[in-house]
Amino acid sequence: MNSQLRREYLDALGLKAWTLRTAATPALAPATPALAAATPARDVSATREAGADWDELRARVAACTRCSLSATRTQTVFGVGNPHADWLIVGEAPGAEEDRRGEPFVGRAGQLLNSMLHAIGLAREQVYIANVLKCRPPGNRDPNLTEAAECLPYLERQIALLKPKIMLAVGRIAAQNLLRTEKTLGALRQQVHRFGVSNVPLVVTYHPAYLLRTPTEKRKAWEDLKFARDVISRV
Ligand code: SF4
């Protein structure tokens, strides 16, 4: 990406005065014992959807009625992107626009996510984007435990098929569900977590919808993106 284009994306992030520089190299260490206890390894190869290929998995999601969200959705939102991507971006659940269009991270939040990715040299088409939940909770309420538990095996199978080098959990709900913790987002940032028995490095940052409401936090999101970029450079 040329420097002019990158500057434009950084402008979109509200980081006009910033220049890219090499961040301190994060330690790509195993999860701390406390974190490991909070995030037990799951055998993603042995989950409910094991064996399904992309097409089969997409069909299962489209027909799913495992939780009550199936009654209120317009359509399921499976995920989008490069099925060979190194980066997997995981959000919480579809919003109104995503429910209408059948694609995750569209609308203003999606545009900001695109800008965030571009700022670290990634096009949306280079990554894979999905949510923990495939159906929209009415009124954009937080998903409940049953809904998340019923839907997570779909994401686990997506991860098993994708084999990403890094996962970026955006937003508190996604991070808490993926890491099985109730810690705050602030406590989960700037660390290398691990997901599943495949031990995929997982980094946590803010949801772009939150950043639109709270632009003062964009600087922290930018720090998280640089952190994640440095993590994957060492994988
Ligand atoms: S949210 Fe997930 S588990 Fe619930 S109906 Fe939709 S696809 Fe099925």
Give the tens place of pLDDT for each residue, 91-149: 999 999 999 999 999 999 999 999 999 999 999 999 999 999 999 999 989 999 999 99
Going by alpha carbons, the residue nearest to atom 6 of ligand 1 is 135
Give the tens place of pLDDT for each residue, 149-188: 999 999 999 999 999 999 999 999 999 999 999 999 999 9
44-73 as b/e: b if 16+ CB within 10 A: beebebeebeeeebbebbeebebbebeeeb
Q: Alpha-carbon distance 157 to 148, whole Å?
A: 14
Q: Rounded to two decimals, what is the model's pTM?
A: 0.85
Q: Which two tokens stand for residue 169?
A: 């959990």
Q: Alpha-carbon distance 195 to 234, whole Å?
A: 17
Q: How far apart are the first and last CA of the chain?
A: 22
One-letter amino acid of 156? E
Between the CA of 147 and the centroid of ligand 1 the distance, in Å, is: 7
CA torsion through residues 128, 200, 62, 68, sign: negative
Q: What is the pLDDT of residue 198?
A: 77
Residue of 47, 77, 78, 133 to mutate, ligand 1, most atoms within 8 A of C-beta: 133
Nearest one of 217, 190, 9, 202 to 112, comparing CA atoms: 9
What number does the ligand 1 atom closest to the CA of 67 have? Answer: 4
Q: What is the pLDDT of residue 4?
A: 61
Which conformational region is residue 48 in: left (phi greater than 0), alpha (psi within -120 to 50 degrees), or beta? alpha
What number does the ligand 1 atom closest to the CA of 65 have? Answer: 5
What number does the ligand 1 atom closest to the CA of 143 have? Answer: 1
Q: What is the pLDDT of residue 197?
A: 76
List pocket residues of ligand 1, CB cut-off 6 Å.
Answer: 61, 64-67, 69-70, 76, 133-135, 147, 150-151
* For residue 195, pLDDT beyond 90: yes
Q: Alpha-carbon distance 150 to 59, whole Å?
A: 16
Q: Which two tokens stand for residue 138?
A: 């009415």
- Cα–Cα distances (Å) from 121 to 1, 84, 106, 127, 164, in that order, read 6, 17, 19, 11, 17
CB 132 within 8 A of CB 148: yes
Sheet holding 87-91, edge to edge: 80-81, 128-131, 87-91, 166-170, 200-205, 193-195
Going by alpha carbons, the residue nearest to atom 1 of ligand 1 is 135
Between the CA of 115 and the centroid of ligand 1 the distance, in Å, is: 29
Give the tens place of pLDDT for each residue, 43-67: 444 579 999 999 999 999 999 999 9
